[in-house]
Amino acid sequence: MRRDGPNAADQATRIPHFWEDRDVNPQYLSRLPDSGFDRVDALLAPVDDDLAAAFPGDRQQPQPIHTVYVSAADAGPDTPRVWGEQAVELLDRYADALSEIGTTGALPDVRATLGRSPIQDLRIDFEDGYGWRSDDVEDAAALETGRTLRQLSSDLSGPRSLGIRAKGLAPHERRRGIRTLELVLEGAGGVPDGFVFTVPKLRAAQQVTAVVALCEELESAYGLPDGSLRFELQIESPQAVLGPDGTVTVAKAIQLAEGRCTGLHYGTYDYSAACGIASRFQSLEHPVADHAKSVMLVAAAQTGVWVCDGSTQVVPQGSDEEIRAALARHYRLVTRSLERGYYQGWDMHPGHLITRWLATFDFYRDALPAAATRLQAYLDRQGGGVMDEPATAQALATVVLRGLACGAFDEDAVRAQAPGCTVDTLRDLLTRAVVPEI
């Protein structure tokens, strides 16, 4: 067999010697018997099953853009409406400054959203934001919180997910936290739609096994459907990221949750303090925060568990100058988080709602023109400066669907720039069901 040209050596490497004297096309031959395929399949079948169980893929329902934390001493059925009204009042006072901050002219739409449905995810806090009170006082607050959550869960303009953060799993507070969770369920008369509870200060993966056991015990005691109780893990200690054996604690924790863990929430100040960062420099953008959140993002990837960025203690209060600076700062922090793949964060003040929605709308609106153009080119298999692969098309579709879900734009706006990008097509791209012909 003659091999000429610059690729002769490469050809010799690729074509096995036993084909050289055969008068057939080598691509149709195989020396591997069926038993060889069967052997490989037998070895990989349990691996396939384990990977499918551990990494089922992203959840289909939209991730909320934020979680609002309100002390149990201050929360009530009117909390979303009150926060929305306070946010609108602040927006109107500082519309000029906010117009300069925004990039897409989204402020009128933000104002409408604040008046219609300002809070997507609400957590009523019995931990740091509530403090230590007498058992009688916390018992009464827990029962009232249950009634509040039940009422909000049936409000079409209310949060689409909600719950509590009880006290943690440390010995000195464990029973108090469990009792509060139980009384909330008692007050709610079961599990409200969209209910999730936050487990603060995770330090060991084995703690998650105990939380799963608690869920099972509560479901049994109250006659609740199996698997109806779900929880988030709050990452507030270095041990939650890196265990004493050098492994990633949070990755183990997700797998021990038996499908009940819905999210990982970063705790900005507890984590930074535990790492020895001086209070002046504790923030969402400190390197220790970036490291922790990057580990969380990797651990949660393709598991269906959402990652939520933390909070900032700087709120728009004080002098006119301080309020303007706080609004600009929060807008910048939210944008920074979105750019790094953290699509949800904590909000601690009504003013944060303004810049949360504004930064989120701007992020997705700024992303749409390029994403739509590339998606349409991918569907059409046209040329251009960028040749996207299925994984990239999947990521582009995700961005567009997130923008649609939060209301940054509607399907008409997408199809005006990419006629082939219907919602169904975008969803098919997520699962790589759409593979354009070459």
Instruction: With H, G, I as helix, E, B as strand and everything else as coil, classify residue 374.
Output: helix
Answer yes or no: are the C-beta atoms of 249 and 255 closer than 8 Å: no
What's the rounded mean pLDDT across residues 297-301? Answer: 97
What's the rounded mean pLDDT across residues 342-350? Answer: 97
Determine if the pTM surpasses 0.75: yes
What's the rounded mean pLDDT across residues 246-261? Answer: 97
Q: Where are the alpha helices (DSSP H) in 15-102?
A: 34-54, 79-93, 95-101
Q: Which helix (H) or strand (E) holds 346?
A: strand 345-347
What's the rounded mean pLDDT across residues 315-344? Answer: 97
Q: What is the pLDDT of residue 436?
A: 55
What tens digit of pLDDT does each residue of 227-237 get? Answer: 999 999 999 99
Domain 66-363 CATH assignment equals 1.10.3720.10:
no
pLDDT at 437 over 60: no
Share of the chain above pLDDT 70, in %: 90
- 60 versus 124: the higher-pLDDT residue is 124
What tens digit of pLDDT does each residue of 72-109 get? Answer: 999 999 999 999 999 999 999 999 999 999 999 999 99
**Torsion angle of alpha carbons 324, 327, 329, 333, nearest 10°?**
-170
Q: Return the domain boundaries, the chain.
A: 66-363, 367-431
How many of the other CB atoms lie within 10 Å of CB of 227? 12
Report in angstroms the alpha-carbon separations of 170 from 167, 173, 229, 249, 276.
9, 6, 21, 17, 21
What's the rounded mean pLDDT across residues 252-267? Answer: 97
Confidence of residue 320 (pLDDT cuts 50, 70, 90): very high
